[in-house]
Amino acid sequence: MNIVIFASDNKGVSSLNSVIQEANNAGINLWVMMNQSTQLKHPLHNKKSYQIFTNCDNIDPIYSNTLGVQLPFKPDWLIINRERWEPESSIIVEFKTKFNSKIGLVDANCWTLGSIEAILELYSINRFVPYIDVFFDHSTWGKTQKKLQGFKGKSVVVGNPKYDINLTPTSETLNEIKKYYKIDPNKKQVLLFSLQNTNRNNIFKEYEKYINQNPQHQYFIKPYPGEPFGGKYHKDYFPEFKIKGVTPILEEAHIWSMFNICDIHMGCVMSILHVPLLLNKEVICFDKEINISGNNLDINRIIQEKGIGLEDSTDLWMRSFNMTKQQVLDLLNKDLLNKVKNKNKEVWYPQNNLLHLFDDFNDKQAGKRIINYILKNE
């Protein structure tokens, strides 16, 4: 079997690393192209940003126009972690139509809470369903949420391969990071998670309130992927984070150590919250307190509020799909929004364990399940 694995940024790399390892262990012919940068790069224009790995010699070389390189074989499978943005969308179409490859998508999202943004995102994803043979989901809960909000693809629950790796760095690495960030052993460390949606402003207000009430702690923030902390401000990240006394974690390599070092983790229900739960850390989640799921299902508010999380605003989707406001309203009918609201309420049922909602297994075997599925479906 011949497999190509592609990642255009470090988020994709972290989602696919264990899949690469398991494929190699299984003796599969493997060709990997990945970009370790936090910024998405197109391989045709940024070839030097990419690393290429293969475990085999040329078998039946074939050229990929979308990757701009010669592959050592005709790929039976393409494994990827996003579908509707470039360069992935063009790569998917080429591999399906030119190489007749099967395509597996390792979902980067947890889909724990439904929202207007999620419904529109799934509407976008559905355009690529004819090209993708299987979506690898993290949990039964997430799979159910996706189906409820309109997802039409084939989905298999495998867990989240991003966390198959060892989440605990060496003691030497932890000590180096503690020195770098001047960690005070007499204080508690608090890690905040930034976000990019219509509730960014609400979350930042909650952070500021908590910091003012607890000035005795040390505070750090993990920027949202692509967020230009310390650089040129970008309107996609409105409002700009300006809370004083909070240190941003700008190096991706540092974040895993800070997950372990920080005592308290604060944010809303999104995939990154999975890590502190796995590490059994204290987690403060604001979704219920500020009614995020309700706000995210208020279509009129989202359309009217300009400049708040541009990437996730309805305005972007209207432009992307060339849809009018009324067409968006028709897509987001009241019955669907009420179903999603009611489903979101189940997240807070006492019997629900948030960790289980993120991942059915939490056993570091997701990458192995993905490869086993592929081997059974050659």
Which residues span the domain enclosing 372? 2-164+362-376
With CA atoms as reference, report the closest residue to 369 among 132, 22, 14, 65: 22
**% of the chain with per-residue pLDDT over 90:** 53
**Which amino acid appears at position 152 of this protein?**
K
Query: Can you tell me the distance from the alpha carbon of 346 to that of 302, in angstroms, rounded to the nearest whole number?
Result: 24
Across-strand partners of 63?
70
- What pLDDT does residue 362 have? 93
Q: What are the Cα distances from residue 333, in Å, to 89, 298, 299, 316, 329?
A: 28, 11, 10, 19, 6
> For residues 139 and 359, is the Cβ–Cβ distance under 8 A?
yes
Q: What residues contact 41, with CB distance under 8 A and at least 6 apart?
A: 8, 9, 35, 49, 50
Asked, for residue 74, whether it belongs to a domain, the answer is yes
The mean of the pLDDT values for the chain is: 87
275 located within any domain:
no
Residue 132: give its domain's CATH number.
3.40.50.2000
Position 355, amino acid: L
Band the pLDDT of 378: cuts 50, 70, 90.
confident
Average pLDDT over residues 63-78: 97
Residue 220 lies in a domain: no
Please state the rounded mean pLDDT for residues 245-261: 89
Strand (E) or helix (H) holding 193? strand 189-193
pTM of the model: 0.87
Q: How confident is the model at residue 11 (pLDDT cuts 50, 70, 90)?
A: confident
Q: Give domain status of residue 28, yes or no.
A: yes
Query: Is 85 within a domain?
Result: yes
CA atoms within 13 A on the CB side of 377: 14
Q: Tell me the mean pLDDT in the region 344-367.
A: 87
Pick 269 or 357 by higher pLDDT.
Answer: 357
Q: Is residue 299 part of a domain?
A: no
Q: Is the per-residue pLDDT at 308 higher than 60?
A: no
Write the pLDDT tens digit of every residue in 146-205: 999 999 999 999 999 998 987 888 999 999 999 999 999 999 999 999 887 667 778 888
Report residue 310's pLDDT band, with 50, 70 and 90 as the boundaries.
very low
What is the dihedral angle through the alpha carbons of 326, 330, 334, 339, rounded to the nearest 10 degrees? -140
Q: pLDDT digit string (tens) for 224-239? A: 766 767 666 666 665 6
For the four alpha carbons of 226, 228, 232 and 233, in that order, the dihedral sign comes to positive
Mean pLDDT for 320-343 is 83
Residue 69: helix, strand or coil by DSSP? strand
Residues 6+ apart with CB under 8 A from 78: 3, 4, 5, 6, 91, 92, 95, 101, 102, 103, 104
C-alpha span between 210 and 207 (Å, rounded): 5
Q: Are 194 and 241 in contact (CB under 8 A)?
A: yes
**Which pLDDT score, from 0 to 100, does residue 85 have?**
83
The answer as to whether 173 is a domain residue is no
161 neighbors 15 (Cβ within 8 angstroms)? yes
- Going through 319-358 in order, the beta strands assigned E by DSSP cover none
Task: Evaluate whether residue 211 is within a structural domain.
Answer: no
Q: Which residues, in sequence order, are CB contacts of 335 under 8 Å at separation 6+?
A: none
Token representation of residue 209: 């309130």
Choose between 243 and 212: higher pLDDT: 212
Region of 245 on the Ramachandran plot (φ > 0 left; ψ -120 to 50 alpha; else beta): left
Distances 187 to 94, 123, 146, 184, 262 between C-alpha atoms, Å: 54, 46, 41, 6, 10
Is the Cβ–Cβ distance between 51 and 10 less than 8 Å? no
pLDDT at 317 over 80: no
Query: Residue 284: phi, psi to the nearest 5?
Result: -110, 115
Q: How many domains is the chain built from?
A: 1
Q: Which of 36-50, 101-115, 188-202, 350-364 has the highest mean pLDDT?
A: 101-115
Q: Are 53 and 64 in contact (CB under 8 A)?
A: no
Comparing 329 with 132, which gets the higher pLDDT?
132
Q: Which of 25-29, 34-38, 342-346, 356-360 has the highest mean pLDDT?
A: 25-29
